A = this chain, B = another copy of it.
């Protein structure tokens, strides 16, 4: 390893990872926001993505359990509130179920995970295992795909509203709060990964964690594309349109 990267250099390299690897570039995403999918294909996407959404609080509580101070834990706790809600305002999981409802999927079937693609399960579970088993620095850094999420959300919402008559602003309500929540999360996590590393090796871990996270988002769309677009071979037991 060579010299430490400056905070700005590190930031630029994180951005470059997103430019190359974020799933906004995946063919499935292009089909999704471009209006090229059938309703059953959009259902398959929402059904599988539910498992990712529902696992985020498990992931965040796992990080929380490793954070050493009340101050850091309070910061991270906000993510739990965003996704689990507070008992009055719905959280992200509940809002995602409004989407699967709106797409005509049976809620019990979605929540049961019976129709989930194994590829989705493996990728999502790998995320929870990553934040449990890697360094805390890598766990925090793996959240940094949120740097790129306002962009993909804007594309997705605009594209889907324009191109599909079976979605509405109500069913896509999941995404609106994320446009303001994600940047708050990113501000903390970016500051953390710029501040904490003491060696170039640790900075490389930060970059590696973001690559890993991009890979697992990408892998989820690979699994969907293979099963429901091309060649279109859902495995035994998976959701069938």
User: Which positions 79-99 of chain A face chain B at CB distance < 8 Å?
Assistant: 80-81, 83-87, 91, 93-94
A65 part of interface (Cβ distance < 8 Å)? yes
Q: Is the CB of B86 within 8 A of A70?
A: no
Contact yes or no, A73 B84, CB < 8 A = yes
CA distance A62 to B73 in the complex (A): 12
Contact B80–A57 (Cβ < 8 Å): no
Contact B74 A84 (CB under 8 A): yes
- Do the beta carbons of B58 and A70 come within 8 Å of each other? no
Instruction: State A91–B80 Cα separation when bound (angstroms).
Output: 18
Contact pattern, A 29-73, Cβ under 8 Å of B = 1, otherwise 0: 000000000000000000000000000011001101111001001
**A121 touches B (CB below 8 Å):** no
B-side contacts of A81, CB under 8 Å: 77
Which residue of B62, B70, B73 is within 8 Å of A65 (Cβ)? B62
- Are A84 and B70 in contact (CB-based, < 8 A)? yes
Selected contact of A83 from candidates B66, B70, B83, B91, CB within 8 Å: B70
Name the residue on B nearest A65 (C-beta). Answer: B61
Question: How many Å from the CB of A181 to the closest CB on chain B?
Answer: 16
Chain B residue at smallest Cβ distance from A73: B84
Question: Are A85 and B80 neighbours in the complex by a CB distance under 8 Å?
Answer: no
Which of B57, B70, B73, B74 lies in contact with A73, CB distance below 8 A?
B57
Beyond contacts A64-B65, A73-B80, A74-B87: 17 other A-B pairs, Cβ-Cβ < 8 A, are A57-B64, A57-B73, A58-B65, A58-B66, A61-B61, A61-B64, A61-B65, A61-B67, A61-B73, A70-B83, A70-B84, A70-B85, A70-B93, A70-B94, A74-B84, A74-B85, A77-B84
Chain A interface residues (CB < 8 Å from chain B): 57-58, 61-62, 64-67, 70, 73-74, 77, 80-81, 83-87, 91, 93-94
**Can you identify 18 A-B contacts, CB atoms within 8 angstroms?**
A58-B66, A61-B62, A61-B64, A61-B67, A64-B64, A64-B65, A65-B65, A70-B83, A70-B84, A70-B91, A70-B93, A70-B94, A73-B80, A73-B84, A74-B86, A74-B87, A77-B77, A77-B84
